[in-house]
Amino acid sequence: MTSMPMSALLSALRGAGRQHLTASTVAARQAITGSHVLRVHGYNKVLRKKVPNGHFFESAPFGAGGHTWKVVCYPNGSDRDHAGYTSLFLKSLRPHDDPFVFDATTARLQASVLDRDGKPWRTQTAEHRSFLGYEAWGWKDFVKNDDLDLVDDCLTVLCDVTVDDLPLHAEEVVTAAAATPPPEPTASALPPSFDGHGWFPEAIWSDMPTDDMVTIHVGGKSFPAHRFLLEAHSPVLKLALQNVTSSQLHIAGGLALDAEVFEAMLQYMNNYSPSCSEKIKVEPTIADRLLVAADKYGLEKLKLACGEALCPRVDMGSVAAMLTLAERHGCPVLKDACIQFLSRAGNLGSFASTDGFQRLMKDCPSAAEEIADIAVKQYA
């Protein structure tokens, strides 16, 4: 027996005399698993000889469960007691004090060394609670190096990251005011027009059913949008819309996500398909805030475009903030631009004498090793 739809339930309750009636829905979330393959060539002959005990390398950033991660590998052990092992850890790229993250509770990491046939040869599983921040967890003794039987000296590790329970912030839980139907959209509230290079012709709006429309409220403004567009682009919005029983979705604004930024993000979703290969246009003045929003909502192509828009703005006064932004939100293209800037003759020495350098070391310690590598190369 299925439960009564919310709309029917509210109609029945209003018919019983409850005219001032509101409702909200909370639903259990399914665990979300994302997988990443890390393949390392020349593992024994090159990396284990060049990377000393206590030093590591990282995978490229990847998304899983609405968050961004990196795999951290110590080919000669993370400390002296594990010098004969490969140590492997998972790191979240979001800091504890980042106000734009969800309050996820538990993440599980399962990592497997794959054999020549792509089948797990050695598997370890670890669980971690309250994982947000520059935390890394995993195994100092992931695998003993003498036990590794590598094909063509190539190490292949499959990492499955499962995030349980992704609740929204309290402000983002949708409350359906069901006493009166929502007003008909006015001319100013119609969907934004297309600029000619969009996902599909503007005429398609007239072919879409009206019940596909939702209204997003953020920063004191309301934005109409097609549900299928939001769900196709953003796994985070798709998850939020699964629990919407009305056509209204309220999103708490913040320092990075205000009405201006959300409008730009919505314009991107209107005009570009997830598989679009053409260059995405980003307004440089909001590229930093838009990058944070794109990372939060899983819009990887938009995040890349924001990073590219910020690269020309990297200079002595901005490099600390840009490198912190790139590290926190998993933007390799912006990070590379910062590293290249600091690698130029004289720049690192000048930067080390600024307040920005001290803030970077405090706020983004993960960048310290990159800067140390630059210093070694320049002053060796």
Where are the chain's structural domains?
A: 32-164, 170-287, 314-379
Q: How far apart are CA 349 and CA 370, in angstroms?
A: 14
pLDDT at residue 92 in the model: 79
Predicted confidence (pLDDT) per residue in 107-135, tens digit: 888 999 999 888 999 999 987 765 444 45
Fold for 314-379, please state it. 1.25.40
Predicted confidence (pLDDT) per residue in 10-32, tens digit: 777 877 887 677 766 555 556 67
Q: How far apart are CA 145 and CA 44, in angstroms?
A: 9
Fold for 32-164, please state it. 2.60.210
Whether this model's pTM surpasses 0.75: no
* E strand or H helix at 36: strand 32-41
CA nearest neighbour of 128 among 151, 110, 148, 149: 110
Instruction: Say yes or no: domain 170-287 is CATH 3.30.710.
Output: yes
Categorize the per-residue pLDDT at 81 as very low, low, confident or very high, splitting at 50, 70 and 90: very high
| Locus of tokens 């600390």 | 320
- Provide the b/e sequence for 215-233 (b: ≥16 CB within 10 Å): bbbbbeeebebbbebbeeb
**Structure tokens given for 144:** 């003993």
Residue 284 has pLDDT above 80, yes or no: yes
Q: How far apart are CA 283 and CA 290, in angstroms?
A: 9
pLDDT at residue 228 in the model: 80
- What average pLDDT does the structure give for the chain? 76
